[in-house]
Structure 1
């Protein structure tokens, strides 16, 4: 405890809470996912509540609601020297550290003002992984048991911390994540010399096994629930995963149903990979993501486009364009793997390892496999319908349900949510296409590129970034 107090004095002596918030919410903004964008909404007469974008990111609940989270670091002090990280120990930056109670008070006060519905807590590493994880667990314990906060909490697990601390954090958090950062051991060693795949995969496996054990203890399947559409797709990786580990847990344990067991990480675990810092191809990244889903039953893999902030010969120089469009394509491909039954090897290969940034991955796959098209909507099964660009899981289920009672036409498909401007190249209704279309790869590719020609993610970075309460709204 004396060492902790000494560190607090050295790192952030006489820093008031607002100053710490400025430093540590700003330090967290580089950890960007597709759900990380600020929202500012002033109060209006006759309406209840308002919103500010102070290091706020978003997640989505199982019913589709968007939840605003206070996203901060416990500290930006770190004993590691990862080349890509703004908070690495060799950088000369302002450092600060919250106490567990300060984080709790900030979270509760922001919640009372309707700014947030939950907390996203990460941290640099003070002294050691175990020391830092102890402070995180103390924060969660205070928040849940003393402040009685029942909102959503996402916490980053610290690689290298003990199993006991991981279990304690998991019993208090809704979601945990251990960031893998790079898709290969060689890249991780190059850019994060203090980390290794074993250091990251061990807590991932512990969290996965603990989730499975907890679900079995309350009489549920050891695997996390997935989209209902997956059960209709024979090729889905989530149907192919063997249940051996869950079966072994069940056979080796005398487990009875317990009604009052607190869920362990009920929203599952996630991870993140940095895009554009190294030279790994999209194929390597996507194959690693697919293996992570299968091996660790992850809920999400996040892809974070690298923002060049450090001077290093092995990294893109500051001022280099942020690869947001590449990040966007990887998210689209990830969605195809999770909800459409695609395999990473179908979307990319060693011969063609990177996505065509001009069209989305599903369209790119379709134009390269025209032998499967056109698909007849009156007879195709749901797995084939999901391969058609412009048809999503909801629309596919509506088609299968509606065609039992009547013949479908293109107008009815549009009402079901089919995006005909893409789908009409690959569909027939009762044997007829919407327009006379040449099934030629080059012709269809050019037409699809024209459809997306007005979208320029690269130039719109300033409007897509996570906002700052201090820089963007002038609060000092």
Structure 2
């Protein structure tokens, strides 16, 4: 008996939850001259992502289908998996997106799919959804398409014309792991597709010689996802792989998704998922690399096994291992060193630097800037205060990291 649309929606939205690379940061509002389009990332809105300014973005996150011709060991939707299967037509996805938007449930669409028939056939259907939303229905909301790396370059080029962001999953941190757990995937093909997307994004950013206007191609950039804990790669190896991806392909984001055990799993997979704290620490370390000036080997050097400390955030772990660099003079230190102080984020450091020409800063001034002094004060010198009293104490961790706050971002 054919499944109802509601039943298929339940199956395919649940199947999509394993993809962590669902974000709408880096996009821009689409406008049409003289037209009022449907959808906007500036309104209010069952997947929640966050923009750089902290806005919560609600997206309809579904698979076109969870049928797949590939048999990747770590994937719940692999061809040998005994799961309920379902499939949408492109027209059904378009209708769902528009109806969910009209009901103010969502502000955009995140669409992925298992591989059916072939990579090109699947990619054609994903592109059809985005094209119909844009051209037939004048949809101006956010669209994120998960592209198929084996698909033709022409189809990926079309996807970038209609989607705000494209993503191609590298799946695992190393080629060796991918060969073991997903032998049908080709790492070289994944990298080639990512490189193609980068070149098209960069080309679109340059003004046209004829129109002097920039073209539009995936204005939100591209992202990728790595599954963590399905293989034996340590955190140092994962972060080194992420650093290469950022440098080579100009990614907006690498997402780290903790491996989740699946029914009838292969003996090649671990029996249990890694601690969720590991995923969180990787995101923190990734942030330090991208925005705080840390090198990958600095972040992971505190432990000989190349793993991040699950009990300490990586910036605090680095500071504890390099106490000789502290305390830092809040009134004189360079920005790069202030960014290494636990508790000081980018905005806080910029606020400190902007305030210094006007007065000598005291701890009370930092409190007015809403800086978490419990963590930062041990590592700072300020007018009337020296953290030297605290930074050398053996019980420093207890002083700066109260119980229940072990997962604080900074």
How much does 1:23 deviate? 1.1
Tell me what 1:30 maps to. Answer: 18
Is 1:315 the equivalent of 2:269? yes
Partner secondary structure for residue 160 of structure 1: coil
What runs of 5+ residues in structure 2 fail to find an aligned partner? 25-42
Length-normalised TM-score, structure 2: 0.89
Length-normalised TM-score, structure 1: 0.77
How much does 1:345 deviate? 1.2
Is 1:64 the equivalent of 2:54? yes
Asked if the contact 1:376–1:430 (Cα under 8 Å) also holds between the matched residues in 2, the reply is no
How much does 1:362 deviate? 0.4
Q: Output the CA distance in 1 between the equivalents of 2:356 and 2:212.
A: 44
Tell me which of 349, 356, 360 is aligned to 1:407.
360
Tell me what 2:329 maps to. Answer: 376
Is 1:120 the equivalent of 2:72? no
Asked if the contact 2:363–2:383 (Cα under 8 Å) also holds between the matched residues in 1, the reply is no
Is 1:150 the equivalent of 2:104? no
How much does 1:26 deviate? 1.1
Tell me what 1:106 maps to. Answer: 96
Asked if the contact 2:379–2:387 (Cα under 8 Å) also holds between the matched residues in 1, the reply is no
Q: Output the CA distance in 2 between the equivalents of 1:102 and 1:59.
A: 24
How much does 1:91 deviate? 0.8
Q: Give the 3 Å change call, closer, same or farther, for CA 50–423 of structure 1 in structure 2.
A: closer
Q: Give the 3 Å change call, closer, same or farther, for CA 34–23 of structure 1 in structure 2.
A: closer
Tell me what 1:249 maps to. Answer: none
What runs of 5+ residues in structure 1 fail to find an aligned partner? 1-12, 37-48, 219-254, 458-476
How much does 1:166 deviate? 0.3
Q: Output the CA distance in 1 between the equivalents of 2:210 and 2:135.
A: 27
Is 1:135 the equivalent of 2:125? yes
Partner secondary structure for residue 64 of structure 1: coil
Tell me what 2:404 maps to. Answer: 454
For residues 25-424 of structure 1, the aligned pairs below 5 Å read 25-32=13-20, 56-217=46-207, 255=209, 258-259=212-213, 262-310=215-263, 311-317=265-271, 320-349=272-301, 351-424=304-377
Q: Which runs of 4+ in 1 moved over 6 A?
A: none
RMSD: 2.1
Deviation digits for residues 71-127 of structure 1, max 9, x if unmatched? 000000000000010000001211111111100000000001111000000000001
Larger RCO, structure (CA 8 Å, separation 6 or more): 1
Count the aligned residue pairs: 387
Deviation digits for residues 390-413 of structure 1, max 9, x if unmatched? 001111111111110111110111
Partner secondary structure for residue 303 of structure 1: strand
Deviation digits for residues 103-155 of structure 1, max 9, x if unmatched? 00000000011110000000000011111001111111111111211100001
Q: Output the CA distance in 2 between the equivalents of 1:288 and 1:444.
A: 33
Q: Output the CA distance in 2 between the equivalents of 1:113 and 1:131.
A: 31
Tell me what 1:222 maps to. Answer: none
Asked if the contact 2:145–2:166 (Cα under 8 Å) also holds between the matched residues in 1, the reply is yes
